[in-house]
Amino acid sequence: MQLAALVVAIASSSGMRRKLTADELLDEFQSSRHSCAHGSVGILIGLTSTTTIPHFLARLSMSFDPLLDSIRSFKMFNVVAASVSNNTFMQIIHDPDVIMLEADCILQLDQVNTAHTELHSIGGQVGSELVDASTRSGLSSPRNGEQQHLTSGLWGLDRIDQRQANGDRRFKFGNATGDGAVIYVIDNGVRITHQELKGRTTKGFSVRKAGNAGRFAGDVWTRFGVITDGDVSCLVQRKVHHGTHCASVAAGTYVGVAKNATVVPVQGLSCSGSGSTSDVVSAIQWSVYDAAKRFEGQPFIISMSIAGMAGNAMKASFEFASQAGATIVLAAGNDGADVCSDKQYSLIVDPIIVGATDSGDRLTGYSNIGECIDILAPGSSILGAVASCDQCYQTQYGTSMAVPHVAGAAAALRALAPGLLGHEVSKVIKCMATTNAIANTNGHSGILPHG
């Protein structure tokens, strides 16, 4: 994997872009800021391929901007993330080396209202919000080359291994276990000691220093993307379970699709589920370089149960990851809207974008839809692991839960066919999909068969 050559290619591609006027750069920035559903925390500055970032930053620092802090640059392309004053902003849009200007959007985990979450135990009564399944009651142990008997909370596994809607409460995975594939879960942290994941995980990365970064309420970060019992301020956050749940659905031993895949947690969002475009771009970059260093030659998947990934900087990071060999899976979002008409969102073409269905083979009311959505997968009432303890589970809803079904299937597919390139997997998965299987989608591609 020649990452240095890719950096040159991405930079050259950016450098070929026509130099915009100051008014055009301002229009581009305002358009991108309008697409930020939760506001922005700064700007993303794209530079020509011949511009050195240190030289550019030195010019900016001459303005003595008191807000010029939290500067972040990237190895994979000539982009700088920064917070600046209005005076420095005007200096930037008139700078001859600036060819792109976008808002650094605030991103937040887009969970479906937990008030509607069905909570139940595995083989017992609910005694608390989180289910302690330490006896593993109701969870059958899968074995390679065979099948797994399922509980009702695992209907998603039952649905993706067949074209017919009438499930048989079995997950027939055969030898499609994802053995040898690596799934990078870019989210808000993962409890890697959970019984679903233990023994098949490794420490990953957190894009910000552990502790309270202070940018948002509850903006708590862990070390290496890992949630432990010692992360008390993290564990009290309402959305803290999101990353662990998604990781388990993708690759859990009992509740997951690719049961032998390796999981690497990458904390691109805080424990409360907040972050920014530049945070997630940093997470993508780290994942690509880590795959080249620690898992050279192995197929890898980047699973992102995050919506709102729009704009040129995000597009370039996806392009870089795809060319480096990644299969990228992304959430459609939970606004119940057609998001594909948004110019910024339509820029995103490399990832597999996933919408959500329910157990009645219907598009959920919350799932976003549109021509840019690639595939639909189970997303409602999905049982998965959570971060509270090594035996705790919860049922969750959202396109976030649909993503790991597809990410796990991609890992299983790439492990069986390692010659497939990362971007080719999207075509194969869509080719395998059962069309016209889901109600109220106007013929949109439907459930993903796994076998």
Among candidate residues 206, 282, 380, 400, the one labeled active-site is 400
Residues near 24 by Cβ (< 8 Å), separated by ≥ 6? none
Q: Which two tokens stand for residue 231?
A: 């992360």
* Residue 168: active-site member: no
* Residue 400: active-site member: yes
On the CB side of 344, CA atoms within 13 Å amount to 24
The dihedrals phi and psi of 189, each to the nearest 5 degrees, come to: 110, 155
Question: Cβ distance 399 to 331 under 8 Å?
Answer: yes
Among candidate residues 110, 187, 279, 342, the one labeled active-site is 187
Among candidate residues 241, 242, 245, 405, the one labeled active-site is 242
Under DSSP, the state recorded for 201 is B
Dihedral sign (CA 343, 362, 261, 118): positive
Question: Cβ distance 62 to 87 under 8 Å?
Answer: no
Residues near 439 by Cβ (< 8 Å), separated by ≥ 6? 360, 361, 362, 363
The phi-psi region of residue 178 (left if phi > 0; otherwise alpha if psi is between -120 and 50; otherwise beta) is left
* Residue 241: active-site member: no
Separation of CA 408 from chain center: 13
Catalytically active residues are 187, 242, 400
